[in-house]
Structure 1
Amino acid sequence: MTENVPVRCPACRRTHGYTPPSYPCPCGTPVVPPVLRGAPAEPITHRTWTDAWITARCAACGRQDQWPQPELGCPCGTVLRLPVRPVASPAPQRETQGGGSGPTSSATGLSTAPAHIPLPRTAAPPRPAFRPVTIRTARDAVSTAARYLRWLGFRDVVQPEERPAGPVTGVDLRGHGLVARVDPTTRPTSLRAVECLWLTGLATEARGVAFSLAGYAPEARARAEGIGLPLFVMDLTGIPQPLGGAADELLAGGA
């Protein structure tokens, strides 16, 4: 089974438990990024697509592939990058302890069950588990947000054919009683973007929901908390994380 790794946020000093995601190798064995236990996590202040990927080796077939850099969104608003063991440094061989006679899952220390994201503790049953898709482009980020909103229960979530000009005034997704903005840029979402989305929701009698890859400026998050606008941070594994009480309530109760 994948081990839970303690991660300490350097901004708020809070410690979180992080379970690295697994990715499907073509040979059928789940590949888990080798997160360095005890290594300090780094706040992400600037994103580049090339720096957001790591190389990991499948312990079963030896194949090397590129996968998203492990990240964790702290409730304080900081997005953390978790360091991983370089491919050149091989992981400890567990099969030497078991003599190599056990099944593949015992030899590699990895579960052979299909990778999935378990239901959040606050999610209301019987909603199934959300299955993420790796984000590689800005379009992937919008598609992931749309899938997540449908998973939460919003109906008819689509991307508008016409999007108003401007860096913060547009709505990327609409649905029944919903307007949503997806910020795939490498800079934290601004206060103005949050307020514009909220005002758009008021004008259209719809609920506003925001998604961001790089997190939110402190004043943007404080404003969203005050007006009850749900904020979500997405990492490149395609797993949105709620930030603030409004997002927690939306995740718990759905649309």
Structure 2
Amino acid sequence: MSERVPVRCPACRREHVYRVPTFPCACGTPVAPALDVSGEPTRLTRRVWHESWVTVPCPRCSLRSQWPWPELGCPCGAVLRLPLLVPGDAGGPSAARPAFQPVTIRTPLDAVTAAALYLRWLGHPDVRRADQRPPSGVALAARGLIAHVDPGPRTASTREVECLWLTAMSESAQGVHFSLAGYDPAALDLAERLSTPLFLLDRTGMPQAVNGAADTLAEG
């Protein structure tokens, strides 16, 4: 059961009970941001994307992942950002994005996990396994994004790129492709024309941008 902490709104002084959210680490362990119960919440008046995330280490595998900064909406209309005990931080959110922490790829499932973690690092915390199945590999989905992960031994072809593009178009989303074996020249050419980001996964789990669209996506 998640922790519950008292929170007082600084605008109307109303008392609330906040349930601290938990998030699933790639290893399956639930993790939660550590709230500073002695601190005071701040009223959020302007939302900045890079200040809306906090890095939380997993207590089991030590993997550091980014999750939404805990917030609470008060009936008076104020949105409260709760104070956290952030290692190496005085209590305020950090503007710098931490380095991506890859996971070693030994199995096809590891490749899917590596891609999912990378997408979360890019700012898609809601990434999950999609319902549809691509021609090969596994499909992931997040708000506004569809990703195909191909952990097989064959290079991705134009069929995989075109299928991803059509699926993304039907969902009004951005398509992204990850491959463990790389891409054939025709697939690279088609992805360039369709502005589809392509990433190559190496065995360390670190995605490498293959084309300009992937570079742009990786740069945020």
Structure 1 length-normalised TM: 0.47
Q: Any conservation in 2 of the 1:146–1:157 contact (CA below 8 Å)?
A: yes
C-alpha RMSD over aligned residues? 1.5
Instruction: Assess, with a 3 A threshold, how the Cα gap between structure 1 residues 139 and 171 changes in structure 2: closer, same or farther.
Output: closer
Give the alignment partner of residue 147 of structure 1, picking from 82, 98, 117.
117
Q: Residues 18-29 of structure 1: matches in 2 within 5 Å?
A: none
Question: Is the strand fraction higher in 1 or 2?
Answer: 2
Corresponding residue for 1:239?
A: 206
Corresponding residue for 2:101?
A: 131
Distance, in Å, in 2 between the alignment partners of 1:171 and 1:208 is 13
Give the alignment partner of residue 178 of structure 2, picking from 196, 207, 211.
211
What do residues 59-106 of structure 1 show as CA deviations (whole Å, max 9, x unaligned)? xxxxxxxxxxxxxxxxxxxxxxxxxxxxxxxxxxxxxxxxxxxxxxxx
Q: Which amino acid is 1:159 matched to?
A: R
Q: Residues 14-163 of structure 1: matches in 2 within 5 Å?
A: 126-160=96-130, 162-163=131-132
Distance, in Å, in 2 between the alignment partners of 1:155 and 1:218 is 32
Q: Which amino acid is 2:106 matched to?
A: R
Q: Which runs of 4+ in 1 moved over 3 A?
A: none
Q: Any conservation in 2 of the 1:171–1:179 contact (CA below 8 Å)?
A: no
Structure 2 length-normalised TM: 0.55
Distance, in Å, in 2 between the alignment partners of 1:213 and 1:175 is 21
* Percent pairwise identity: 56
What do residues 95-118 of structure 1 show as CA deviations (whole Å, max 9, x unaligned)? xxxxxxxxxxxxxxxxxxxxxxxx
Corresponding residue for 2:150?
A: 183
Q: Which amino acid is 2:123 matched to?
A: G
Give the alignment partner of residue 167 of structure 1, picking from 135, 150, 154.
135
Q: Which amino acid is 1:176 matched to?
A: R
Distance, in Å, in 2 between the alignment partners of 1:171 and 1:213 is 12
Q: Any conservation in 1 of the 2:116–2:128 contact (CA below 8 Å)?
A: yes
Runs of 5+ in structure 2 lacking a partner? Answer: 1-94
Runs of 5+ in structure 1 lacking a partner? Answer: 1-124
Corresponding residue for 2:217?
A: 250
**Aligned residue pair count:** 126
Distance, in Å, in 2 between the alignment partners of 1:139 and 1:240 is 15
Q: Any conservation in 1 of the 2:138–2:150 contact (CA below 8 Å)?
A: no
Structure 1 SS opposite 2:219: helix
Distance, in Å, in 2 between the alignment partners of 1:136 and 1:129 is 22
Structure 2 SS opposite 1:236: coil
